[in-house]
Structure 1
Amino acid sequence: MTMRPPFPGKSSSASKPSGTEERRRIIEKYINSLKELLKRLRNALNTGAVL
């Protein structure tokens, strides 16, 4: 007896993230880069450095 995927048309492969997970990962990466940029800007403003 063969095992069927849990949902028709979907594979049970865990190697490929779902679309939602992939979008969340991209957004988190973008947020982290913005946080790093803000951190550098605050540091530059506090030290009086010229960008």
Structure 2
Amino acid sequence: MITDRIDKLIWSANPSNLFPVHSLYEGLVPSPGSLIWGNAAPHKVQFLGWLA
């Protein structure tokens, strides 16, 4: 079965629908500050993560 449709990927994380690698990184990896300070770990553990 042959159709005339074009199969293509659309990257919705970027308004231009292009795929820059930094948009993937920004979507998958939150900012380092939110990883360390924005969780339910005790403050001492968060501080140890910040030191590392």
TM-score (structure 1 length as normaliser)? 0.34
Q: Which structure is higher in RCO with an 8 Å CA cutoff and minimum separation 6? A: 2
Q: What's the TM-score once normalised by structure 2's chain length? A: 0.33
Higher helix share: 1
Structure whose CA Rg is larger? 1
